[in-house]
Amino acid sequence: MNTTIAIPPHSLSIVVPFYNEEENVIPLVRRVHEALATYENPWELILVDDGSSDATVDRALQSATEFGRHVRLVELTRNFKQTAAMQAGIDAARGDVIVTMDGDLQNDPVDIPRMVARLLNEDLDLVAGWRQNRQDGLFLRKIPSKIANRLIARMTGVKLRDYGCSLKAFRGSVIKSVRLYGEMHRFIPAWLATVTTPRRIAQEPTTHHARTAGVSKYGISRTFRVILDLIAVYFFMRFRARPGHFFGGIGLALTAVSGLIMAWLGWVKFGLGENIGGRPLLIVGIGGLIAGLHFITTGVLSELMARIYFESGSVRSYSARHERPLGADEGWHKSA
């Protein structure tokens, strides 16, 4: 750690989700300890096993025995995917600052002190990693990622160059106010923008290594999931607290257009005396009225669901095995 950079006193939690990464667990734990060997504030390392079918849990337990109780294991009961695993680690974290990173050794823990220093010294809520020299395949990883990053930035208004980098430093109180579901981990900066201003979100160039062990869990198929998730994020950011405005707006527009169509057909029928039974416009008008009423009804129901959502914040997207509770001063790594 660069001792010339003064960092306000804090506690640090590092969250690392794993899924079938038995070859990477122990090397990553060692790298974290090397990177934070002179760290002046208490820290803990939370390893989250996302239902691995290999020896990942055994390696994590071995690391906890070797390095101490500040290395903690959160073991999920099955594979809930990365977003839920990350949420489980964030829920278990006790630090004022929470850092997330991948467990495949592609993120470098040496960047953690610098990112935390910037987070606290510049009074930010999020410092997101930016893999300037990304060590991944061009066509399957880099190009789809660049397209996704620009699309996400344009639709969400949070201007970041690299949404996919898992190495991020958060202010604990802020990230804990956001709940992550589905496969929304790549949209965390956008979710964070729902509870804080984008001015308190920054990016920092980070080191990126090529994968040397294990198998990548990502493929080109995730591009389609990103598009669907992006639509959900856009809707949630704009209409989370007022979904009735979205559905109701569509319903009112359809009802208004269909009403004009029916009024015109009524004039044709009763004013001009013409037959309208065989006109396609009649079917369009009736269909539009029915669809408009459905959208309005959906808007009312979504408003009710939104109120239930905001009033019940205890639902979790994962289940984990129980961990022995730690005291306030237990389970921290402190410099001598």
Residue position matching structure tokens 């009802």: 255
Q: Which pLDDT belongs to residue 327?
A: 77
Between CA 111 and CA 117 the distance in angstroms is 10
Confidence at 149, pLDDT banded by 50, 70, 90: low
- Top pLDDT among 155 and 18 is at 18
**Domain identity same for 235 and 253:** no
Residue 1 pLDDT > 60: no
> Is position 325 within any domain?
no
Between CA 61 and CA 71 the distance in angstroms is 9
Of the residues 206, 239, 272, which one is the last residue of a structural domain?
Answer: 239
Using N-to-C axis directions, what is the helix angle for 56-67 and 25-35, rounded to 10°? 30
Of the residues 239, 263, 283, which one is the last residue of a structural domain?
Answer: 239
Phi first, then psi: give them for residue 255, nearest 5 degrees: -65, -40
Confidence at 188, pLDDT banded by 50, 70, 90: confident
Confidence at 181, pLDDT banded by 50, 70, 90: confident
Structure tokens at 1: 């750690």
Q: Which pLDDT belongs to residue 198?
A: 85
Residue 49 pLDDT > 90: yes
Residue 189 pLDDT > 90: no
Shortest CA distance to 245 belongs to which of 170, 285, 299, 308? 299
Sign of CA dihedral 239, 243, 249, 251: positive
**Domain identity same for 294 and 209:** no
**Domain identity same for 251 and 215:** no
- CATH number for 180: 3.90.550.10
Secondary structure of residue 158 in the 3-state scheme = coil
> Is position 58 within any domain?
yes
Residue 53 pLDDT > 80: yes
- Kind of pairing, strands 126-131 and 43-49? unpaired
Q: Which pLDDT belongs to residue 235?
A: 79
Confidence at 162, pLDDT banded by 50, 70, 90: confident
Sign of CA dihedral 245, 251, 255, 256: positive
Residue 133 pLDDT > 90: no
- Top pLDDT among 277 and 283 is at 283
- Top pLDDT among 83 and 190 is at 83
CA 28-32-37 angle, 5° bins:
145
Confidence at 176, pLDDT banded by 50, 70, 90: very high
Residue 140 pLDDT > 60: no
Which residues are registered as beta bridge partners of 13?
44, 98
> Is position 332 within any domain?
no
Rg (CA), the chain: 25
Confidence at 4, pLDDT banded by 50, 70, 90: low
Domain that holds residue 293: 243-311
**Domain identity same for 60 and 74:** yes
**Domain identity same for 231 and 254:** no
Q: Which pLDDT belongs to residue 154?
A: 73
Total-model pTM? 0.76
For residue range 89-132, list pLDDT tens digits in order. Answer: 999 999 999 999 999 999 999 999 999 999 999 999 999 998 87
> Is position 258 within any domain?
yes
**Domain identity same for 82 and 159:** yes
CA 46-329-188 angle, 5° bins:
35
Q: Which pLDDT belongs to residue 3?
A: 45
Strands (E), 52-125: 71-75, 97-100
**Domain identity same for 247 and 215:** no
**Domain identity same for 179 and 306:** no
For residue range 57-85, list pLDDT tens digits in order. Answer: 999 999 999 999 999 999 999 999 888 99
Residue 143 pLDDT > 90: no
**Domain identity same for 125 and 69:** yes
